[in-house]
């Protein structure tokens, strides 16, 4: 486990200082391989936050092992919460609501977070607020900036790649989604193939900095086609072929080859995101008109500086206002769950989700047609 709590979240523009304003909400995140928790206040202060990353525990397997993740959450969550409350000089009874990621995610981990949050809620008599992990990513910009609804959102993480219209705390309309792999998954698979380890995103980004994207031409699935859906599985296959070609020519993938492949991959993925976002902006404007609306990028892949830069340029060229959470709030963290919980709590004063059970699948737009498949448990997010 790597304790990242010392990493400062920074004080984002617009974030208040001074005595925090109620309500105060504790948020717990255990849906994947981060054990995280935070306390936020209504005036957008992060009163305390801790993240324990399990990256080292999963690295040798090249991806997250659900059983290991669940066991690590069980071992560490109570100690993490104790430290968190100490950091904030607060007790559970000082909270106004207790929130936890209730889905989508790995069910073992979700159960640990939800059961812990419900136990704290029951013991203190505070309401439990069920938070959709994706809503956490989607609403985080409002924790750091005055972003008002509606806005256009590109949500790019390890498990998801979607474009959504966000018109309220609980109102999401999906304009497009991936028909196969998520963007972060494409980064992770590329990294694994090139021996760069897990998680792949930061490693591929670092390698790409020294690479020449122009050396290789990779396919750009769905680019130029109508709609806003994505497809990245062909890209992954093409990366594998490039690596095999390099081996066929000079027995190994040299560092230079690897950097060039990463640069080409990242640029191609950027081209796909921009093309789909252009169509989404047109669709968004058909509903909302020509005003200067926010274009938001969120989720782990939004930590990628190259992609952020390209999306920011697109926003400028399209008369949209670009916004993205600071890097520490892009990847999974407790503040995003506490904040989404606070938003739901403020919007529904009588909320209490004690009857909600963990949901491995939980799409933000429940009316949207499933693209990645519909299993026994419902629509895959």
The piece of 113-121, 154-162, 229-237, 371-379 that touches ligand KG4 (CB under 6 A) is 154-162
Q: How far is the CB of 354 from ligand KG4 (least distance, A)?
A: 25
205 binds, among ligand KG4, Zn ion, none (CB under 5 to 8 A by kind): ligand KG4
The piece of 123-131, 242-250, 294-302, 351-359 that touches ligand KG4 (CB under 6 A) is 294-302
Peptide bond into 342 cis (omega under 30): no
202 binds ligand KG4 (CB under 6 A): yes
Query: DSSP of 237-256, one letter per residue?
Result: HHHHHHHHHHHHHHSS--HH
72 binds Zn ion (CB under 5 A): no
CB closer to ligand KG4 out of 20 and 199: 199
Compute the distance between CA of residue 284 and CA of residue 27 in angstroms, rounded to an integer: 31
CB closer to ligand KG4 out of 176 and 300: 300
Question: Quick one: CA dihedral 7, 37, 336, 13, positive or negative?
Answer: negative
Q: How far is the CB of 77 from Zn ion (least distance, A)?
A: 17
205 binds ligand KG4 (CB under 6 A): yes
159 binds, among ligand KG4, Zn ion, none (CB under 5 to 8 A by kind): ligand KG4
The piece of 115-123, 297-305, 309-317, 365-373 that touches ligand KG4 (CB under 6 A) is 297-305
Which residue, chain included where needed, has tokens 């070609």? 245
SS (H, E, C) 70-89: HHHHHHHHHHHHHHHHHHHC
Peptide bond into 150 cis (omega under 30): yes
Compute the distance between CA of residue 84 and CA of residue 86 in angstroms, rounded to an integer: 5
The piece of 124-132, 169-177, 183-191, 272-280 that touches ligand KG4 (CB under 6 A) is 183-191
246 binds, among ligand KG4, Zn ion, none (CB under 5 to 8 A by kind): none
32 binds ligand KG4 (CB under 6 A): yes
The β-bridge relationship of strands 97-103 and 128-132 is: parallel
Residues 6 or more apart whose Cβ sits within 8 Å of residue 236: 181, 186, 189, 190, 193
Q: Would you say 211 and 242 are in contact if contact means Cβ atoms under 8 Å apart?
A: no
Q: Look up residue 131 and give its two tokens.
A: 């938070």
294 binds ligand KG4 (CB under 6 A): no
The residues binding ligand KG4 (CB under 6 A) are 32, 157-159, 184, 187-188, 199-202, 205, 299-301, 303-304, 331-332
């Amino acid at each position: 486990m790597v304790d990242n709590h010392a990493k400062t979240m920074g004080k984002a523009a617009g974030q208040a200082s001074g005595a925090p304003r109620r309500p105060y909400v504790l948020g717990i995140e255990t849906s994947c391989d981060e054990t995280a928790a935070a306390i936020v206040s209504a005036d957008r202060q992060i009163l305390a936050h801790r993240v324990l990353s399990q990256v080292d525990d999963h690295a040798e397997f090249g991806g997250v092992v659900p059983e290991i993740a669940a066991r690590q959450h069980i071992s560490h969550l109570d100690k993490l919460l104790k430290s968190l409350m100490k950091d904030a000089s607060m007790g559970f009874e000082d909270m106004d609501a207790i929130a936890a990621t209730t889905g989508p995610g790995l069910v073992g981990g979700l159960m640990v977070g939800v059961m812990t949050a419900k136990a704290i809620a029951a013991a203190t008599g505070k309401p439990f607020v069920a938070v959709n992990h994706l809503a956490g990513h989607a609403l985080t910009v409002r924790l750091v900036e005055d972003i008002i609804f509606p806005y256009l959102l590109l949500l790019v993480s390890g498990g998801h790649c979607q474009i959504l219209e966000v018109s309220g705390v609980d109102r999401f309309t999906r304009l497009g989604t991936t028909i196969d792999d998520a963007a972060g998954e494409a980064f992770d698979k590329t990294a694994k193939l090139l021996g760069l380890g897990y998680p792949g995103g930061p490693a591929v980004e670092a390698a790409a900095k020294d690479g020449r994207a122009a050396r290789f031409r990779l396919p750009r699935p769905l680019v130029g086609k109508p709609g806003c859906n994505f497809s990245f599985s062909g890209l992954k296959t093409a990366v594998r072929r490039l690596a095999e070609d390099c081996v066929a020519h000079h027995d190994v993938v040299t560092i230079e080859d690897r950097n060039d492949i990463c640069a080409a991959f990242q640029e191609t993925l950027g081209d796909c995101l921009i093309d789909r976002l252009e169509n989404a902006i047109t669709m968004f404007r058909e509903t909302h008109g020509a005003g200067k609306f926010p274009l938001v990028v969120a989720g782990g892949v939004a930590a990628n500086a190259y992609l952020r830069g390209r999306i920011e340029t697109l926003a400028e060229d399209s008369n949209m206002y670009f916004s993205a959470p600071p890097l520490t709030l892009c990847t999974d963290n407790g503040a995003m769950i506490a904040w989404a919980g606070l938003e739901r709590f403020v919007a529904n004063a009588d909320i209490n989700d004690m009857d909600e059970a963990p949901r491995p699948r939980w799409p933000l737009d429940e009316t949207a047609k499933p693209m990645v498949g519909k299993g026994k448990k419902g629509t895959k997010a």
